[in-house]
Amino acid sequence: MHLIENASIIGRTIGEQDLYLVQDETTGRIITLVNANNLELETGAEGLVSYETGTENVLIGFEPATEEVFA
């Protein structure tokens, strides 16, 4: 399993396959992930992305980033 700790969801396509475009904010690299688990993520969401590689990159999970609140 691979992790992108500082990821942003930058796009989504729904067609033959449900795909997300994910950008690693640290490196700027953009990868396409197949949404095999039918996760509903919004464009612009930021957080930790986990995925598997093989014949396709498959999105396994997404954990939203927590926002720090300063008083």
Q: What is residue 14's predicted lDDT score, i.e. its pLDDT?
A: 86
What digits encode the pLDDT tens for the residues 19-51? Answer: 999 999 999 999 999 998 899 999 999 999 999
Give the C-alpha separation, 35 to 41, whole Å: 10
What is the structure's pLDDT at 69? 55
pLDDT at 71 over 60: no
Report yes or no: 62 and 47 within 8 Å, Cβ to Cβ. yes
pTM for the full predicted model: 0.84
**Given its phi and psi angles, is residue 16 left (phi above 0), alpha (psi -120 to 50 degrees) or beta?**
alpha
Contacts of 42 (CB under 8 A, 6+ apart): 9
Residue ranges of domains in the chain? 1-31
Torsion-angle region of 56 (φ positive above 0: left; ψ -120 to 50: alpha; else: beta): beta
